[in-house]
Structure 1
Amino acid sequence: MILDDFIVATKTGLFCRYGDFYLDPKEIVKHAVISHAHGDHAIGGHLSVYCTEATALFMKHRYKKFAGEAFYIKPYHSWFELNGVKISFLPAGHILGSAQVLMEYMGVKYLYTGDYKLQPDKTCEPIEFVKADVLITETTFADPGTAHPVAEQEILKLNITQSNIMLGAYALGKCQRLISLMNDHCIEKRILLHHSMLPFVKIYEQMGIDLGRHEPYDRKVMKNNQSNMVYLVPPMVFNSYFRAVNVVRAFATGWKHLQNQNGIQLYISDHADWNDILLTVEKVQPLQIWTNHGSGVQLKKHFEGNLVVKLLN
């Protein structure tokens, strides 16, 4: 029997009282099961952190000695137990080390996706599907009007201009995917990285991911070369240099409002779009869908009369 209160949304995050742990908590807790290392899912300071190896490395870099008191590294597909709840990680395809959390209690399986994507990405483990009674899915782009274009086609937009490009991207996940895409599809571009991105890139390479050509940003190099340079910067830097001259601005994201006033609109997302979410439901074959991280209203409307859809937030 599905327990309606197996996972409940609190101000601290998604709480499983049966196992006494939180999924991606927003505040410091005793037991934190972390799906991936993005800042809106992984904060520092927890007493016990359960995650994949890559997620632990990213968190330890970002939070240093405040990353957490104890890390329990779990490989994909291995089971561990917290207070009677069995837990296993499955690849989520979002970034390197990202995991779906499969939980089993009293014979019922609950699958928490965390953030996930179905598009191919050589820089992280591809998503794996598993059947579960309850699918707890992110709904960041759960809108029938949202369809992410193919990233390998979208990156070709950078070849339209020979002017230097300032390319905004998240330092973890998106940056590394873009480096790989540009090496495959924008071979004339020289890729320069903001210094804050370099440690994350190093961890990717440490984990055996070959991203291809890239180099640290050098102001003189950028100044002395007026064509085919791509300077990858994190969002804060991109936003602070909104008046940058002699560069074409682009920001890699699935959000339309972040494409405004950019010279190149680059729709590359690391989340599932509407059709991907529907395909995930088809693969998982849940009896119920619980939604999180975004609005599940459209999903509830779509499955009305066929599946129970509960909005957790």
Structure 2
Amino acid sequence: MILEDFITITPTGLYCAYGDFYLDPQQPVKEAVVSHAHGDHAIGGSQNVYCTAATATFMQHRYRKFAAVDFFNKKYHEAFKIKDVTITFYPAGHILGSAQVLMEYKGIKYLYTGDYKIEPDTTCEPFEFVQADVLITESTFADPETKHPSPVDEIKKLNETNANVMLGSYALGKSQRIIQLLSENCPTRNIMVHFSIMPFNKIYEDYGMKLGNYKMYDRKVMKNNHENQVYIVPPMVFHSYHKAINVVRAFASGWKNLQQQNGISLYISDHADWAAILETIEKVKPKQVWTLHGDGKQLKDYFKGKLEVKILN
């Protein structure tokens, strides 16, 4: 029997009372199961953190000694227990080390996706479809109007101009994917990255991910070369240089509002779009779908009378 209260939303985050642990807590807790290392899912300060090795490494870089009291690094497909709940991680395809969390309790399987994408990305482990009784899916882009274009086609837009480009990109995950896409599809470009992104690149490479050719940003290079330079910067830097001259501005994101007032729109998302969410539901074959991180109303309407969809947020 599916337990409707197996996962509940609390001010601290998603709580599983049957295992007495939190999924991606927003405040420090005793037992934290962390799907991936982005700051809105992985905070510092918890006592026991269960995650993949890459996620732990990113958290240790970001939070230093405040990352956690103890890390319990788990491999994909390795089952472990917290109280009476058996947990197994499966690749989520979002960023390096990102995991779906399969929780089994009294014969029922609950699958928490965390953030995920199912399209190919050579900078992280590919998404795996796992069957479960309940699919707890992010619904960031759960809108029939949302269809993410090919990331290769998007990055090739940069080949249409010789101008220097300031490219806004999240430091962890997105920047490494952008470097790889640029290296493979924009061979005439000299790729430079902001110093804050460099440690994440090194961690990726330490885990065997090949990003391609790039260098640390050099102001003189940008100043003396007015063509074919791409400078990848984190969002804060991108927004603080909104009047930067002699560059074309672009921001890599699936959000339309982040494309406004830029010279090039760059719709590259690391989340599942509408079609990908539907494909995931089809292959997971759940009896119920619970939605998080977005608006689940359109999914609820789409499956009305066919599949129970519960909106958790």
TM-score by length of 2: 1.00
* Aligned residue number for residue 65 of structure 1: 65
Alignment of 1:140-151 (within 5 A): 140-151=140-151
Counterpart-to-counterpart distance in 2, 1:148 and 1:225: 33
Distance 1:95 1:289 in 2: 23
Q: Give the match's secondary structure for 2:47.
A: strand
1:123 to partner: Cα distance: 0.2
What runs of 5+ residues in structure 2 fail to find an aligned partner? Answer: none
Q: Shift of the alpha carbon at 1:119?
A: 1.2
1:1-313 equivalence runs, <5 A: 1-313=1-313
Cα shift at 1:11: 1.1
User: In the alignment, residue 240 of structure 2 is paired with which amino acid?
Assistant: S
Which residue type is aligned with residue 190 of structure 1?
N
Q: What residue ranges of structure 1 are gaps of 5+ in the alignment?
A: none
Q: Secondary structure of the equivalent of 1:272?
A: coil
- Aligned-pair identity in percent equals 66
User: Displacement of 1:118 after TM fit?
Assistant: 1.0
CA RMSD of aligned residues (A): 0.4
1:242 is paired with a residue whose SS is coil
Distance in 1, Cα, partners of 2:281 & 2:252: 27
Q: Is the partner of 1:14 in helix, strand or coil? A: strand
Deviations 1:40-79 (A, max 9, x none): 0000000000000100000000001100100000000000
Find the aligned partners of 1:119 and 1:165 in 2 and give their Cα distance. Answer: 26
In structure 1, what residue type is equivalent to 2:161? T
Give runs of ≥4 in structure 1 deviating > 6 Å: none
| Cα distance per residue 1:123-171 (max 9 Å; x no partner) | 0000000110000000000000000001011110011110100000000
Secondary structure of 1:77's counterpart equals coil
Whole-angstrom distance in 2 between the partners of 1:272 and 1:81: 29
Query: Which one-letter code corresponds to 1:253 in the other structure?
Result: S
Please list the CA deviations of residues 228-252 of structure 1 after superposition, one character each: whole Å capped at 9, or x if unmatched: 0000000000000000000000000
Between the aligned partners of 2:215 and 2:75, the Cα distance in structure 1 is 31
Q: CA deviation at 1:297?
A: 0.6
- Offset at residue 117 of structure 1 (A): 0.2
Distance 2:230 2:119 in 1: 24
Structure 2 distance, partners of 1:97, 1:227, is 36
> For 1:127 and 1:144, how far apart are their aligned partners in 2?
22
**AA at the equivalent of 2:21:** F
> 3-state DSSP class of the match of 1:47?
strand
Cα distance per residue 1:70-129 (max 9 Å; x no partner): 000000000000011000000000000000000000000000000000111000000000
| Code of the aligned partner of 2:203 | I
Aligned residue pairs, count: 313
The 3-state SS of whatever aligns with 1:301 is helix
Partner Cα distance (1:296, 1:290) in 2: 8
The 1-side partners of 2:40 and 2:304 are apart by: 30
Q: Distance in 2 between matches of 1:296 and 1:176?
A: 30
The CA distance in 2 between the partners of 1:33 and 1:271, in whole Å, is: 20
> d(CA) in 2 for partners of 1:268 and 1:38?
17
Aligned partner letter, 1:278: L
CA distance in structure 2 between the aligned counterparts of 1:39 and 1:159, rounded to whole angstroms: 32
| Distance (Å, rounded) in 2 between the aligned partners of 1:132 and 1:92 | 15
Distance of 1:301 and 1:23 partners within structure 2: 27
Distance of 1:279 and 1:110 partners within structure 2:
18
In 2, the alpha carbon distance for the partners of 1:306 and 1:176 equals 40
Quote the Cα distance in structure 2 between the aligned partners of 1:79 and 1:275: 30
Shift of 1:304: 0.6
